[in-house]
Amino acid sequence: MILNSFSLEGKTALVTGAAYGIGLAIARAFAEAGARIAFNCSRPETMERAQQAYRELGIDAKGYLCDVTDENAVKAMVADIEATLGGVDILVNNAGIIKRIPMHEMAAEEFRKVVDVDLVAPFICAKAVIPGMIKKGHGKIINICSMMSEVGRETVSAYAAAKGGLKMLTRNICSEYGEHNIQCNGIGPGYIATEQTAPLRERQADGSRHPFDQFIIAKTPAARWGTPEDLMGPAVFLASDASNFVNGHVLYVDGGILAYIGKQPK
């Protein structure tokens, strides 16, 4: 049965930054597909909130307070997952931040921080799980990329540099470890309604939509923002045996933005 190849029964998944937003939806999808779930986040208050969310969803997830930029902490988390949940079969590098600052006003330290979380940390996490995947003879690594892996816009230079780099890290992990039956792919979400994008959707004082909100709706053939749930099916596909010959690919889940030239002026 073809549908069996989408099952994650017996697999252990680590989803980074899965306290809320896209990561939580992906963890939920994996749990529904049968996987054991480990996740992490960096702040104690978010962990409390996450534990409650997983409880309410009926998911027995193991949460770690772990900053993905801290290599020793990531190694300890992966070692504990190996000892308690049987090793990571699926890694989703989801944890990410953005700083919206015009480049000529951005401090190098702020730029480095974004690159550290959005690009260096996926390297750290992948590095930590790859030896275990080689031993197991299989592995899936999914890097959460972005529209900004392909296109730029004002104020997001560090984010675009990091997400563009993440696309190439994806291709390189595929190139370097494909022979070990490890598939590394990316998901490039379009504009998704989460806390990260909340400032772009804030209502104006007169109750009208934020100009950026209107811009995204006009720019998206689907004529709406994405939801974290829109990423669930694509993530299960890339985590499952159904995608065993898909490697080094970035799957854009963007309601068609990248395919569209934009609305013609009236």
Residues in a beta bridge with 184: 141
H/E stretch holding 172: helix 157-177
Minimal distance in Å, beta carbon 147 to ligand NAP?
6
| Residues between 148 and 187 with contacts to ligand GCO, criterion CB under 6 A | 148, 153, 156, 159
Which residue's CB is nearer to ligand NAP, number 26 or number 33? Answer: 26
Does 147 bind ligand GCO (CB under 6 A)? Our answer is yes
96 vs 139, beta carbon nearer ligand GCO? 96
Chain position carrying tokens 């409650």: 52
CA distances, 263 to each of 8, 200, 208, 211 (Å): 41, 20, 21, 15
Among 27, 68, 77, 232, binds ligand NAP (CB under 6 A): 68
Residue list 206-265, contact with ligand NAP (CB under 6 A): none
* Among the listed residues 6, 34, 62, 69, the single contact to ligand NAP using CB under 6 A: 69
Alpha-carbon distance 27 to 31, whole Å? Answer: 6
DSSP SS3 for 65: strand
119 touches which of ligand NAP, ligand GCO, none (CB within 5 to 8 A by kind)?
Answer: none
Among 8, 14, 90, 94, binds ligand NAP (CB under 6 A): 94
Binding flag, residue 196, ligand GCO (CB under 6 A): yes
Q: Which is nearer to ligand NAP, 94 or 240 (CB)?
A: 94
Q: Is 192 in the site for ligand NAP (CB under 6 A)?
A: yes
Q: Tell me which long-range contacts 56-59 makes (C-beta under 8 A, separation of at least 24).
A: 57/28, 57/31, 59/27, 59/28, 59/31
Interface with ligand GCO, residue 252, by CB under 6 A? no
Catalytic residues: 159
Radius of gyration of the chain (CA): 18
Query: Contact at 8 Å (CB) between 123 and 170?
Result: no
CA dihedral for 126, 134, 39, 236, sign (positive or negative): positive
Which residues have a Cβ under 8 Å from the Cβ of 266 and sit 6 or more positions away? none
Nearer to ligand GCO, 194 or 240 (CB): 194
Contacts with ligand GCO, residue ranges (CB under 6 A): 98, 100, 146-148, 153, 156, 159, 189-191, 196-197
Contacts with ligand NAP, residue ranges (CB under 6 A): 16-17, 19-23, 40-43, 46, 67-69, 94-97, 117, 144, 146, 189, 191-192, 194-197
